Every structure is written in C-alpha cells, then in structure tokens.
C-alpha cells in the first residue's frame, strides 16, 4: 500500500498517454516502397541467382558504397550473416569467439552455428558496450575472432578492440545489426573490422519487409568466400551456372523483393536518420532533466544510430536510498501504466541463457567445455536489473508527438518519486531473469525483439 493518495495510473488514475491511440508502425511503408516491390514481382527476376544485374546486386553495391568498403553480400538474415562471416574467416570447431555478455542472443548463436564456442566478455556500465579489457582477459590460445557488438546503435571502442585483435592475430567481426549508419571516428560501422554484419529485420533502422542481412568487407577474398558460402559453395562468377560446390556452403540468399524494399528505404535513410536524431535528442533532453534517470548519449568520437534507448536508474542521484533494481522495477510499472512501453531488453546476460547455462540445446563439438558463468559478467547482469529500454516507437521521426507524450508521462511519474521509492522498498521484487516458470516474457511493443 502506498502511504499517500496519488493520480498515478498504476493506482487507478487516468493514464498520461490516452489509451486507444493508433499503434505506432515500423517500418514506414511509402508508395515508393510498394512500387519497388511491385516492380520486382512484375519483372520476374525474383532471386539473386539470375544472369545480369538484379535488385540484390544493386543493394550490395549501394550498401558497400554507403559503408565505404569494397564488397557487400546480402543474406537471408543477420544471424546467418554472422555465421557466414565467421565461416568466411575459417572459424570452426575448436575455435573460440569472444562475444559481449549483453547482446541479442544471435551474437552468441552464430559461433555455435559454425561449431565454435562463444566466450563472454563483460560490458562497460555507462554505454553498455563490450569492455576491451574484458575482451583481452578472455583471449586464450583457442581464440580465433572477437565480435564487438555496436549495441543499441552506438559503435564499440574499435580502436582498443582492433589493438587487442592485432596483438593476438585475431579476426574482428563487427555485429552492426543495430547500428546502420553509425560512425566511429568518421568511419562508418561495417568498415572497421575484417567483416561487418547488419540485420535487415523489419524492426531495424534499415529494414526490409521481413528478414534479411548484409555482410560488408574491404577484403576481396573474404567477400568472395562470403558469396560462395551464401550459395551452396558455388562460384556464380562464371558465365554459366555449373552446379559445382567448392565448400560446405549454406543457402543464405536474400530475395529480390526484400532487396528492392530495402533499396527504397535506403534512398531516404539519411533523411529519416536526421529526423530521428532531432526527435530523439529532444526527448532525451527532457528525460535527462529528471533526477536519477540516466539517458543514453553519443560519444565525442562516434555517432549513435539510436536503435534502442536504454535508461539507467540511479537512486543516489535522486537523493533516494533504495536499491536501483527495485526502483527500476517500480518506475517501469508506473511508466507502463501511464502508457509508456518501457521494458527490459534482454532478460539475462547471454551466458545465463538456458541454452548455455542449463545444458540446454547446445553442446560444444570439441572440448574443452568453456566456463559459462553469468557471475563472471556482473556488469551485464547489473545493467539488466538497473535499466529499461524503449524500442521501435522512436524509429519513425513522425512519432515525435508521441515521444512528447511519453516525456510528459515520465515527468508525471517523477512527481511521485518518493512515493514510488517507498513502494519499491516493499514490493515483491524479482530480477528480470527470475520470472515465474511458464510465464512469457512480454515484448514491449508488438513485434519487438
Ligand atoms: C545485436 C544483434 N545481432 C544479431 C541480430 C540478428 O539479426 P537477425 O534478426 O536479422 O537474424 C540482431 C537482431 O535482432 C541483433 O540485434
């Protein structure tokens, strides 16, 4: 029970964001996108295999140019793109790949798909990016590659990470699935490691109308190998397809319909990103004024693609003596009741995912079995407990009015901060990864990952 009456929606007051507003949509689908897709359907060149130019090859050229690299290879999704990138490098059974402890699970699955073992490195508590010192400590004689993730759209510390890789002769695969268009020291992500990987999933900043991915590289041999691996191991550069497989390839092709949709999105990508930048910054300025709420920020030497907005709760900065995880849980509940769809993004550090932690669906093909101890990555665990995330709504700059409503709702919640702190102290608290058995983790927005 709360000690004071309140107009908070979680206590029966009217929500700050009225119910029944039209659900925000992403991607934005324009007439031009529809025409691009129809054009492919009517033209009949539906795959990436046909002779001559096609939509997939055009997308690859345009994305390579955008990332200022020599080669791009389009794939069926970002997860296969990561596996292909590792396979192109020759990473396989017996190898280890260093992966951040906080990321989408695909970053850790990709090594397993090529028979390698993911080894987890902790993150930094401020920007949630993999900590180069932790990566250095995770390197063993079996390490073949490191996979920095440009999490939430902010590039990882690539100068430090490539120095670690260079010192040990390791390859670098950038997981840029969330960071299209972000730049590190003026270089676009995707051109900072040996290979870069992007997701074109419909939830991403550069989406397709479904699933897709892109690999980038400046090294011709890696580009050639990625192409072979996408296409059953076949070399399609000859005049006629001869159906000869040179390597154990995948079928990881992107369809021409998906490529055409993404090309159409790419034509206005910069304008959309600039509008998002303005809307997000205005939103973050308002939220950053609330004591104890720490918004994400870009860094002087890199830009932020603002794919996800992660907020940290710092009770001490608000003059409150209550554990941050509890206050985060109480604030999340209050904000959601007001109509602000914040929630966890990743309910557990990757090494605590059942597939790794409980002897679930995966066993490394080759010993030794790595130590997968979530306690070894405490910053990732603490981050999940002390933060919440806003997803997707802010991707469309046309939703700036909705963001204003969210900011007003947060200001209302903050007026009740001391009451909520007392509530937090007494509430039944469980960390996000300790949900009652069988209860589904609710996504924060329809279709959210
Ligand atoms: C960091 C990260 N890596 C990899 C992926 C995998 O991409 P896809 O969903 O296209 O397979 C995602 C997608 O959510 C991601 O966020």
* 3 state SS of 183: strand
Average pLDDT of the residues in 42-48: 88
| Confidence check: pLDDT of 316 > 90 | yes
Spatial strand order of the sheet with 308-313 comes to: 293-294, 308-313, 387-391
Nearest atom of ligand 1 to the alpha carbon of 212: 10
The lowest-confidence range among 39-53, 54-68, 363-377 is 363-377
**pLDDT grade for 430, boundaries at 50, 70 and 90:** confident
Angle at 326 between CA 430 and CA 126, to 5 degrees: 105
Distance 176 CA to ligand 1 centre (A): 9
Of residues 337 and 349, which shows the higher confidence score? 337
* 3 state SS of 141: coil
Omega prior to 163 cis, within 30 of 0:
no
Ligand 1 within 6 A of CB of 75: no
Per-residue model confidence as pLDDT tens digits over 78-92: 999 999 999 999 999
Nearest atom of ligand 1 to the alpha carbon of 201: 10
Tokens standing for 13?
Answer: 């007051």
**pLDDT grade for 358, boundaries at 50, 70 and 90:** low
Q: In the block, which residue shows the tokens 């693609």?
A: 305
Q: In the block, which residue shows the tokens 């080894």?
A: 119
Ligand 1 within 6 A of CB of 199: yes
Per-residue model confidence as pLDDT tens digits over 206-227: 999 999 999 999 999 999 999 9
Of residues 267 and 371, which shows the higher confidence score? 267
Distance 448 CA to ligand 1 centre (A): 12
Average pLDDT of the residues in 290-312: 97
**pLDDT grade for 359, boundaries at 50, 70 and 90:** low
| Confidence check: pLDDT of 312 > 50 | yes
**pLDDT grade for 319, boundaries at 50, 70 and 90:** very high
| Confidence check: pLDDT of 369 > 60 | no
* 70, 157 contact by CB (below 8 A): no
Ligand 1 within 6 A of CB of 204: no
Tokens standing for 25?
Answer: 């949509």
Q: What is the pLDDT of residue 189?
A: 98
Distance 25 CA to ligand 1 centre (A): 19
| DSSP string for residues in 152-171 | GGPPP-HHHHHHHHHHHT-E
Of residues 40 and 356, which shows the higher confidence score? 40
* 99, 116 contact by CB (below 8 A): no
Average pLDDT of the residues in 194-216: 98
Distance 81 CA to ligand 1 centre (A): 9
| DSSP string for residues in 36-100 | HHHHHHHH---SS-SSS--HHHHHHHHHHHHTT-SEEEEES-HHHHHHHHHHHTT--TT-EEEEE
| Confidence check: pLDDT of 418 > 90 | yes
Ligand 1 within 6 A of CB of 103: yes
Structural domains for the chain = 31-267 (3.40.640.10), 269-426 (3.90.1150.10)
Ligand 1 within 6 A of CB of 196: no
| Confidence check: pLDDT of 114 > 70 | yes
Q: What is the pLDDT of residue 374?
A: 61
**pLDDT grade for 433, boundaries at 50, 70 and 90:** confident
Per-residue model confidence as pLDDT tens digits over 387-407: 999 999 999 999 999 999 999
Ligand 1 within 6 A of CB of 106: yes
Query: Strands 117-121, 96-100: parallel, antiparallel or unpaired by DSSP?
Result: parallel
Distance 92 CA to ligand 1 centre (A): 21
What does the alpha-carbon distance between residue 445 and residue 341 come to, in Å, rounded to a whole number? 7
Q: What is the pLDDT of residue 48?
A: 83
Phi (first) and psi of residue 172, to 5 degrees: -125, 120
């Amino acid at each position: 029970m709360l000690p004071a009456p309140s107009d908070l929606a979680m206590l029966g007051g009217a929500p700050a964001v009225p119910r029944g507003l039209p659900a925000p949509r992403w991607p934005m689908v324009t007439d031009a996108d529809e025409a691009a897709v129809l054009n492919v359907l009517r033209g009949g060149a539906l795959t990436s295999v046909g002779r001559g130019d096609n939509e997939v090859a055009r997308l690859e050229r345009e994305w390579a140019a955008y990332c200022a690299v020599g080669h791009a290879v389009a794939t069926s999704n970002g997860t296969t793109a990561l596996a292909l990138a590792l396979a192109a490098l020759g990473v396989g059974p017996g190898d280890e790949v260093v992966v951040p402890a906080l990321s989408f699970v695909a970053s850790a699955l990709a090594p397993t798909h090529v028979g390698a073992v993911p080894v987890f490195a902790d993150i930094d508590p401020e920007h949630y990016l993999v900590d180069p010192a932790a990566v250095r400590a995770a390197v063993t004689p079996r390490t073949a590659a490191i996979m920095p993730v440009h999490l939430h759209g902010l590039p990882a510390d690539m100068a430090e990470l490539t120095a670690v890789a260079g010192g040990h002769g390791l390859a670098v695969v950038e997981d840029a699935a969330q960071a299209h268009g972000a730049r590190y020291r003026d270089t676009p992500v995707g051109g900072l490691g040996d290979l870069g990987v992007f997701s074109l999933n419909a939830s991403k900043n550069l989406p397709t109308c479904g699933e897709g991915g892109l690999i980038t590289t400046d090294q011709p041999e890696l580009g050639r190998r990625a192409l072979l691996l996408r296409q059953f191991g076949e070399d399609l550069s000859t005049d006629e397809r001869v159906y000869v497989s040179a390597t154990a390839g995948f079928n990881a092709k992107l369809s021409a319909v998906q490529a055409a949709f993404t090309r159409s999105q790419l034509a206005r990508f910069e304008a959309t990103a600039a509008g998002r930048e303005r809307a997000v910054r205005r939103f973050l300025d308002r939220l950053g004024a609330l004591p104890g709420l720490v918004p994400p920020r870009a860094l002087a030497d890199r830009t932020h693609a603002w794919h996800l907005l992660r907020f940290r709760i710092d009770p001490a900065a608000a003059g409150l003596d209550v554990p941050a995880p509890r206050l985060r849980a109480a604030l999340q509940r209050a904000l959601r009741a007001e109509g602000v769809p914040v929630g966890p993004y990743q309910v557990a550090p990757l090494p605590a995912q059942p597939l790794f932690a409980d002897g679930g669906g995966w066993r490394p093909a080759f010993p030794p079995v790595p130590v997968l101890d979530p306690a070894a990555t405490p910053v990732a665990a603490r981050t999940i407990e002390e933060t919440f995330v806003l997803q997707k709504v802010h991707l469309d700059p046309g939703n700036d009015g909705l963001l204003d409503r969210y900011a007003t709702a947060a200001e209302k919640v903050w007026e009740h901060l001391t009451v909520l702190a007392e509530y937090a102290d007494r509430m039944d608290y469980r960390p996000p990864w300790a949900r009652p058995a069988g209860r589904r983790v609710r996504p924060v927005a329809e279709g959210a990952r």
